[in-house]
A and B are shown apart, each in its own frame.
Chain A
């Protein structure tokens, strides 16, 4: 069965770029939308954006100006880059698979805590 695993730094300085990678194992990346979602105590669950296996992207308008999601199907990975971070970006970051047939996030990574602090 498909499994997702996030990786990346747990601490990022303010104004720098938050970079995370999600590795997909046990299945193909084809025909799915690969998403990032974050969860913070103050804002609950927030959808960040997704990238389709074909490469098209869709971003949360509130983050769009700072956000890049990219895909490397040869490595079965997709990544998140969020620039100019502030303390408000401190959260648990999840990668998740969005399945078009159910219009739902049906597989999630375990999540990784990212703290923005100097």
Chain B
């Protein structure tokens, strides 16, 4: 199985800050890396696919980068609605897609 490891597990920041979340794969996954945002009591929602492509309707302050084993999600100028838990997920290895353990972003 491909293991996905996110860091940090939790992060505190201020409105307006720039934050970066890292996701590392246990083997190369090319660019088959997606990022999701989950708010309490809600389902995850897709932010970025293919490591760097913004899903429709997602604000441009969200940026994804990386390839092979190392990926980052950057949020520039944090807004109140961005405080949530973020997950990475690999789609390289079927039939077992795997998720990172999550990064909780708090005010």
Contacts and interface: CB of A to CB of B under 8 A. Distances in A.
Interface of A: 44-47, 49, 58-61, 94, 96, 102-106, 108-111
Contact of A61 (B36, B96, B100): B96
B95 A58 contact: yes
A-B pairs with lowest CB-CB distance, top 4: A108-B43, A103-B91, A104-B49, A45-B99
Contacts, number: 59
A105 B89 contact: yes
Give the bracket for the number of chain B residues in contact with chain A.
20 to 34
**Interface secondary structure of B, over-half rule:** loop
B66 to A, nearest CB: 15
Contacts of B44: 45, 94, 105, 108
Interface of B: 32, 34, 36, 42-46, 49-50, 53, 55, 87, 89, 91, 94-102
**Interface secondary structure of A, over-half rule:** strand
A110 B95 contact: no
A102 B50 contact: yes
A61 B95 CA distance: 8
Contacts of A59: 95
A105 B100 CA distance: 15
Nearest to A59: B95
